């Protein structure tokens, strides 16, 4: 399937699942999982950084428009999209490996551990920034920390389940002609 | 000049990132002004439609609870029927009213409109409810919203053609005044952003007697919500160390987890109260 069409379908599905399924969950009135930003994590390697930032802006604004207080998710998504390329450069196994595959996955990142670090760090940053902005007025540091850690754990669990359920077929492309 | 361009070209991503972050934080801080200008008409109309479709499915699963609450509401109304009361037999002369129209209608202060909840959140720190009734169905900003059993839910903050957004009591900027039914002291409601259905009442001095189980009703000081609507029942009374006041935690009368049908209250006197207030303000300046 065309990469653009695929990504548009993904975008819509992630937003709908987040708004109508995951937002209804709040364990102990505190922990809500977020998975929609997996859309940003799955963006192709070769996409320009400015494009990534703008796509993050659109994704965040779309989710925010369902919550009637715009800004929180936009800020978190933009931060995630900004940090993502640096992490890829750090974690990718060898020079040019990001040319061999389309987008980040267990396979293309060279094993389970690098990919887990990749999604773990990004999830934590996203949640931390989101809850920090939300907690600005409430100002209870322990509540904020516990909420961030527990939500990160739950989101990561759901992300791993998503990865296992929807295995993305990725072709190995050589850059040697 | 050339160096400036080189600098911009080199750090364009960082600059764009900072601009976008600044933009989102601006949205968060200046939420009300911006929101009203851009979001409320287009975005509400769009997301409202999506929410409505989804609610059709979800509504089905909540029919039982909705029914129960409507039955209790009906029970209350039946008990208020005039035929339930029999006055002592001192002035029995039956008169047939010759007026065809309801002569009281001209003196009506509040009218109630039913509305369906299409989107509801309790998990965020700022919660909103979206109603499937908008400006073209007589909704206005500032209307009070109660649930089927007259428990206060919130106040309408934005209205689009077919949908309206309600700031529920579970919102940090929601400051409705509440009143203790027993003593009549008035305080302000606020929510700490943690437990839904548990809200606090502040501004009640410590010399007031408050007990667990006391009722809190609306004060009627604002034009949105009439006096005497149920707000909640006291669950915990704490002394605030920094001031001479109590912090009272109470359980809200409206169950925010299960809102399906609500009523919007239109105060017919809002306009005249507003104009007279404006007059007083301009005079004092």
- Choose the closest CB to B123 out of A16, A26, A74: A26
What is the residue range of A14's domain? 3-23+32-165
* d(C-alpha B210, C-alpha B181), whole Å: 10
Dihedral Cα A130, A135, A137, A143, nearest 10 deg: -170
State residue A138's pLDDT score: 59
Mean pLDDT of B92-119: 73
Q: Which residue of B has its CA nearest to A76?
A: B21
State residue B63's pLDDT score: 86
Do the strands B230-239 and B215-218 form a parallel or antiparallel pair, or are they unpaired?
antiparallel
Say if the Cβ atoms of A68 and B128 lie within 8 Å.
Answer: yes
State residue A123's pLDDT score: 94
Cβ neighbours for B232, distance < 8 A, ≥ 6 positions apart: B151, B178, B199, B215, B216, B250, B251, B252, B253
CA distance B250 to chain A (A): 16
Say if the Cβ atoms of A82 and B196 lie within 8 Å.
Answer: no
Chain B contact set for A15 (CB, 8 A): none
Least confident of B17-31, B50-64, B89-103, B160-174: B89-103
Q: State the best of A51, A63, A68 to mutate against chain B, taking most chain B CBs within 10 Å.
A: A68
Domain-located, residue A171: no
ipTM value greater than 0.85: no
Say if the Cβ atoms of A138 and B192 lie within 8 Å.
Answer: yes
Chain A contact set for B31 (CB, 8 A): 69-71
- Choose the closest CB to A71 out of B25, B123, B165: B25
Domain-located, residue A172: no
Domain-located, residue A173: no
Mean pLDDT of B11-29: 88
Say if the Cβ atoms of B16 and A50 lie within 8 Å.
Answer: yes
Cα A26 to Cα B40, B124, B128, B195: the distances in Å are 27, 9, 16, 10
Domain-located, residue A45: yes
Three-state secondary structure call for residue B261: strand
State pLDDT tens for residues A83-110.
Answer: 998 888 888 766 666 667 778 888 777 7
- Choose the closest CB to A71 out of B27, B124, B172: B27
Domain-located, residue A94: yes
Q: Is A11 on the interface with B (CB under 8 A)?
A: no
Domain-located, residue A177: no
Domain-located, residue A174: no
State pLDDT tens for residues A143-161.
Answer: 888 888 999 999 999 999 9
Quote the number of domains for chain A.
Answer: 1
Say if the Cβ atoms of A82 and B26 lie within 8 Å.
Answer: no
CB pairs under 8 A between A and B: 99
Domain-located, residue A175: no
Q: Is A29 on the interface with B (CB under 8 A)?
A: yes
* d(C-alpha A13, C-alpha B227), whole Å: 45
The confidence band for A177, taking pLDDT boundaries of 50, 70 and 90, is very low
Parse chain B into domains and list their residue ranges.
177-254
Chain B contact set for A53 (CB, 8 A): 13, 16-17, 20
Question: Which residue matches tokens 């009135």?
Answer: A29
CA distance A15 to chain B (A): 11
* d(C-alpha B275, C-alpha B118), whole Å: 34
Angle at B222 between CA B127 and CA B272, to 5 degrees: 125
Q: Which residue of B has its CA nearest to A27?
A: B123
Least confident of A21-35, A43-57, A74-88: A21-35
State residue A104's pLDDT score: 83
Q: Which CATH superfamily is domain B177-254 in?
A: Rod shape-determining protein MreC, domain 2 (2.40.10.350)
Say if the Cβ atoms of B25 and A75 lie within 8 Å.
Answer: yes
């Amino acid at each position: 399937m065309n990469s653009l069409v695929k990504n548009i379908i993904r975008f819509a599905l992630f937003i709908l699942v987040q708004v109508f399924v995951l937002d209804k969950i709040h364990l102990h009135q505190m922990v809500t999982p977020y998975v929609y930003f997996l859309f940003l994590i799955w963006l192709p390697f070769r996409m320009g950084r400015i494009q990534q930032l703008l796509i993050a802006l659109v994704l965040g604004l779309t989710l925010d428009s369902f919550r009637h207080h715009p800004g929180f998710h936009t800020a978190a998504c933009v931060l995630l999209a900004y940090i993502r390329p640096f992490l890829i450069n750090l974690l990718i196994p060898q020079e040019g490996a990001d040319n061999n595959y389309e987008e980040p996955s267990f396979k293309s990142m060279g094993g389970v551990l690098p990919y887990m670090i990749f999604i773990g760090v990004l999830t934590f940053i996203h949640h931390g920034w989101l809850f920090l902005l939300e907690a600005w007025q409430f100002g209870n540091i322990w509540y904020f920390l516990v909420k961030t850690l527990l939500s990160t754990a739950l989101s990561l669990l759901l992300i791993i389940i998503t990865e296992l359920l929807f295995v993305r077929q990725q072709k190995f492309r050589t850059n040697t002609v | 000049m050339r160096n400036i361009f080189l600098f911009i070209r080199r750090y364009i991503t960082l600059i764009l990132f900072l601009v976008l972050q600044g933009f989102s934080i601006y949205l968060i801080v200046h939420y009300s002004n911006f929101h009203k200008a851009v979001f409320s008409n287009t975005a509400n109309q769009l997301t409202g439609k999506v929410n409505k479709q989804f609610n059709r499915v979800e509504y089905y699963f909540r029919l039982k609870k909705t029914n129960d609450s409507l039955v209790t509401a009906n029970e209350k109304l039946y008990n208020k029927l005039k035929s339930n009361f029999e006055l002592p037999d001192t002035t029995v002369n039956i008169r047939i009213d010759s007026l065809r129209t309801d002569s009281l209608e001209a003196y009506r202060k509040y009218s109630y409109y039913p509305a369906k909840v299409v989107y509801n959140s309790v998990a965020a720190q700022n919660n909103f409810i979206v109603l499937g009734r908008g400006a073209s169905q007589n909704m206005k900003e500032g209307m009070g919203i109660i649930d089927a059993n007259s428990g206060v839910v919130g106040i309408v903050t934005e209205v689009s053609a077919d949908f309206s957004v309600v700031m529920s009591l579970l919102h940090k900027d929601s400051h409705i005044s509440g009143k203790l039914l027993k003593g009549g002291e008035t305080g302000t409601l606020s929510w700490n952003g943690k437990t839904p259905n548990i809200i606090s009442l502040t501004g009640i001095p410590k010399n007031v007697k408050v007990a667990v189980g006391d009722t809190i009703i609306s004060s009627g000081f604002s034009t949105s919500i009439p006096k005497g609507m149920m707000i909640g029942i006291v669950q915990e009374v704490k002394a605030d160390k920094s001031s001479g006041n109590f912090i009272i935690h109470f359980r809200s009368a409206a169950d925010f987890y299960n809102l399906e049908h609500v009523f919007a209250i239109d105060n017919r006197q809002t306009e005249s109260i507003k104009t007279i207030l404006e007059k007083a303000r301009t005079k004092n300046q």
